[in-house]
Amino acid sequence: MSKTSAYNFDTLSLHAGQAPDTQYGARAAPIYLTTSFVFKDTDQAAALFNMERAGHVYSRISNPTNAVLEERIAALEGGVGAIAAASGQAALHLAIATLMGAGSHIVASRSLYGGSHNLLEYTLPRFGIETSFVDPRDLGAWRAAIRPNTRLLFGETLGNPGLDVLDVPRVAEIAHEAGLPLMVDSTFTTPYLMRPFELGADLLFHSATKFLGGHGVAIGGLLVDSGKFDWEKTGGKFPTLTEPYEGFHGMDFAEESTVAAFLLRARREGLRDFGACMSPMTAFQILQGMETLPLRMQRHVDNTRKVVAHLAAHAAVESVSYPELDSHPDHALAKQLLPKGCGAVFSFVLKGGRAAGRKFIESLRVFSHLANVGDAKSLVIHPASTTHFRMSDAALRASGIHEGTVRLSIGLEDAGDLIAGLENGLRASQKA
């Protein structure tokens, strides 16, 4: 589909990046399960390797099926392009490794998915990249944490699992004042609930494993570039993008592509050297999920509102953390930034601590106990002992996670059945 900006979201979710197959007329995107592509002649081969012609050489770098997915998410987010990676973690690593190297620094929200926190706090320092974690609500802390060697500000649109709402416009202002990009993890919101580029973010990524795919069948990540950040006006902070790269014929990526230098380097170096590419079969599966994204997200939100209301009034529940509740500290901000709803993932604190949480989960009906969110089916997990177990007690408390915290991902089932299943678990939890 050409001129995608002329279409609305629901249409783009079905058509962006793809037209019927010209050879056979297939309506669905063909799955190009091939490692490589035959050259027409030596001139074409040379031109493809030297980026003089558009096309595909090797599926680690690009693939026609993956390209449809990349164009679709770019259209839905309002970006200039995207890269499909092996997972959300791979997308995060690809972004960081493209922007910086040893001696660099990141300022990040402390309300992050446990895997992201682990990468930033424990793994990247081994390679000379340090991170300062800040309270996402404390704008002064964001500004104060920036150092001369800071190269990125990073947060989640909705923090995991406390549902902190990132004030994207104001954090973006702080980043831009310092000549830095803001990157957000937009997994929990999807472009249906929030388009961060319209709020000032420069880069974003998704764990496409979650709501974009929507059915718990494929692991994938998507890294999207707004094309709005001017890498050349940062005083040499990003030499990976603004200085000749001997690893690719002395290319200056900002000169080669004035709007997508980041994506160009990430693909030509990052996918080439790190190798965390997406399988074309995975791209196809995620595309199928994205076709129903608007319908699914609205049902996710509708069901979540009913479940939240039930839990908030329940005697066995100490508190519920969901931004649509008046009691949530980001309630006003959520109304401003998330008018369509605050997603389908939230946490609550069960009375009785760890023992009650264990009994609750083991007594649930309908809900599946597993390490994922964003499935069409409803899911449950105990973060302190699973997704965030690597974090210290102090870091857990700082992130708002208690021993009795339970995280729910509300699916597409009948809301009455979900509430009945939760009620069974709640009754059992208070007998632990």
Give residue-wise pLDDT tens across range 144-184.
999 999 999 999 999 987 799 999 999 999 999 999 999 99
pLDDT score, position 391 = 66
E-strand stretches of 32-86: 81-85
Place of tokens 């998507």: 222
pLDDT at 101 over 80: yes
Query: Does the structural domain 7-289 have CATH classification 3.40.640.10?
Result: yes
pLDDT score, position 402 = 76
User: What is the band of 50 on the pLDDT scale with cuts at 50, 70, 90?
Assistant: confident
Contact 356, 314 (CB under 8 A): no
* Share of residues in the chain with pLDDT > 70 (%): 95
> Any residues with CB less than 8 A from the CB of 117 and at least 6 apart, and which?
110, 133, 388, 390, 391, 395
Mean pLDDT of 416-423: 97
pLDDT score, position 41 = 94
More confident residue, 2 or 396: 396
pLDDT score, position 389 = 67
> How far, rounded to the nearest angstrom, does the alpha carbon of residue 178 sit from its chain's CA centroid?
24
Contact 1, 15 (CB under 8 A): yes
Strand ranges across the sheet with 405-409 = 317-321, 345-350, 405-409, 379-381, 368-369
* Share of residues in the chain with pLDDT > 90 (%): 85
Q: Which amino acid is at 293?
A: L
Residue-wise pLDDT for 222-278, tens only, equals: 999 999 999 999 999 999 999 999 999 899 999 999 899 999 999 999 999 999 999
pLDDT score, position 23 = 87
Report d(CA 304, CA 410) in Å as an integer: 6
Phi-psi region of 386 (alpha: psi -120 to 50; beta: other; left: phi over 0): alpha
Mean pLDDT of 401-412: 88
> Any residues with CB less than 8 A from the CB of 407 and at least 6 apart, and which?
161, 345, 346, 347, 373, 380, 381, 382, 383, 387
Report d(CA 36, CA 153) in Å as an integer: 37
Residue-wise pLDDT for 112-149, tens only, equals: 998 999 999 999 999 999 999 999 999 999 999 999 99
In the chain, domain spans: 7-289, 293-429
Q: If you classify domain 293-429 with CATH, what class do you get? A: alpha beta
239 closest CA partner among 247, 88, 73: 247
Read off the DSSP letter of residue 268.
Answer: I
Element (H, E) at 183: strand 182-185
The whole-model pTM stands at: 0.94
pLDDT score, position 400 = 67
Residue-wise pLDDT for 320-329, tens only, equals: 999 999 999 9
Report d(CA 424, CA 239) in Å as an integer: 58
Report d(CA 267, CA 260) in Å as an integer: 11
Give the up-direction half-sphere exposure of residue 411: CA atoms within 13 A in the CB hemisphere. Answer: 19
